[in-house]
Structure 1
Amino acid sequence: MHNPHIEESTPRQADLTGVLLAGGRSRRMGRDKARLFFAGQPLYQRALELLHRFCRHVLIAGSRPDLERPGLPSLPDRYPGSALGGLYTGLLAATTDWILVAPCDMPWPDARIVERMLTVRQGHDAVVPRTPDGYEPVFALYHKNCLGRMEEMLRQGQYRIYDFYRRIDIRYLDPPELPDGWQRSLVNINTPEQLARLLEEES
């Protein structure tokens, strides 16, 4: 069953590259999260469909030759082991000013959130959903302006995404601006127990 919200997206953006983040080690899951089956398809495919809706070009940040296909390259992280390193890999490789990033473990990515991020991005370096549970750094928009600050931190061995956010002009999307059902849309699958619970809810 496909996510119905993906079908409602706006036309592809010429200045936007899609970046699927798939360089994590899935420690808590104990196996590759990207290839977990959820609602009849590999989990990564759900995020990939959303990225293709908005972006003419899509790439994978992380060494994932098993997920590659024509027009979908995977790029080893230059600074592996962190979300910031994955964002840097994608942003450096993109030929557009902006990237839209999505993780490989999000079962219900919502195009309406992307549409809202796109409407408020002008004049900012990044647009990131922010909820009472914290930031959503891996389902967000980033501009090439971020590259210098990212590289500076990564070269110094600093990987905290929240420290990076203090160094850029960031626009947060708070719950009043998010569409109904955003709590479900921003779920990531991290453990076998969580996967089993969500599969039961979906069935």
Structure 2
Amino acid sequence: MPNIHTPAATGILLAGGRSRRMGHDKASMILDGQSLLQRAATALSAVVEEIVIVGAPGAVLPAVNAPCPLVHVEDPVEGEGPLVGIARGLEAARAPLAVVVGVDLPFLQPALLRLLLERLSAGIESGVRWVLPIADERAQPLCSAMARDALTILRARIEAGDRAPMAVADVLHATRLAEEDWRAADPDGLSFLDVDTPEDVAAALAWLGRGE
């Protein structure tokens, strides 16, 4: 559970993606004895007061245990992209701030998620509505923190047909968190290691000491 110094927040866990390269739902994939959905929920529960799991329409997701309330919602239409999923999560969120993560990030570090929330909370009065860490020279929208009141802007962009996550960065006055600013919270950058291919899974297992 979050500590008294962590801003009140909802975790938005995007679990609607189906990997064509993996051949099945990412959320149900097992890594080190746990589904990817469970691993992400466990990391989130260390820093948020509730978790909103956003799944594909009609999807059957694996069971999840967490010490905080879990809310299950569905994307309105399958395959519309992460911005639609983020908006759906914000609609269901109760807290003013949210941590947004993708289900295919099996090594999320609570210290990094907490840092994102702290930076977002500190920037709210100056208009910041999104904090985006930079890893491997790229912004990471699926491991970020966003204000709930950004929902109005997301809806407008979605209705206009502009569904690329980074399309809303400027209008949300996004703060980009450079690597030197987050490395103390996640020295090895583990939070950004995703699993999209069988080779990624093998690498993750090897990192866990389970690979052959």
TM-score (norm 1): 0.86
Q: How does 1:26-37 map onto structure 2 within 5 Å?
A: 26-37=19-30
Structure 1: distance between partners of 2:55 and 2:8: 22
Tell me, which stretches of 5 or more residues in structure 1 are unaligned? 1-6
Which of 179, 195, 204 does residue 175 from structure 1 map onto? Answer: 179
Of 155-164 and 56-65, deviating more is 56-65
Aligned residues, how many? 196
Question: Which residue, 71, 74, 80 being the options, matches 1:73?
Answer: 71
Aligned-partner Cα distance in 2 for 1:118–1:69: 23
For 1:83 and 1:91, how far apart are their aligned partners in 2? 12
**What secondary structure is seen at the aligned counterpart in 2 of 1:55?**
coil
CA RMSD of aligned residues (A): 2.2
* Distance in 2 of aligned mates of 1:138 and 1:116: 15
Query: Offset of 1:160 from its aligned partner?
Result: 0.8
The aligned counterpart of 2:48 is 55
The structural deviation recorded for 1:198 is: 2.1
**Which residue of 1 is the match for residue 158 of structure 2?**
154
The CA distance in 2 between the partners of 1:13 and 1:79, in whole Å, is 34
**Matched residues in 1 for 2:11 and 2:38: separation?**
13
Q: Which position in structure 2 is the counterpart of 1:125?
A: 129
**Matched residue, 2:92:** 93
Residues 176, 13 of structure 1: CA spacing in aligned structure 2 closer, same or farther, 3 A cutoff? closer
Q: Any conservation in 1 of the 2:6–2:117 contact (CA below 8 Å)?
A: no
Preserved CA contact (<8 Å) 1:65 1:74: no
Q: Which amino acid aligns with 2:101?
A: A
Contact kept in structure 2, 1:20 and 1:58, CA below 8 Å: yes
Question: Cα gap change, 1:131/1:172 in structure 2, threshold over 3 Å: closer, same or farther?
Answer: same
Residue 148 of structure 2 corresponds to residue 144 of structure 1: yes
CA distance in 2, matches of 1:165, 1:158: 12
Question: Which residue in the other structure is 1:3 paired with?
Answer: none
One-letter code aligned to 1:93: A
- Structure 2 unaligned regions, length at least 5: none
- In the alignment, residue 112 of structure 1 is paired with which amino acid? A
Separation in structure 1 between the aligned mates of residue 189 and residue 200 of structure 2, nearest angstrom: 15
Q: CA deviation at 1:40?
A: 2.0
The Cα of 1:14 is off from its aligned counterpart by 6.3
Equivalent of 2:193 in 187, 199, 202: 187
1:101 Cα deviation (Å)?
1.5
The 2-side partners of 1:88 and 1:132 are apart by 26
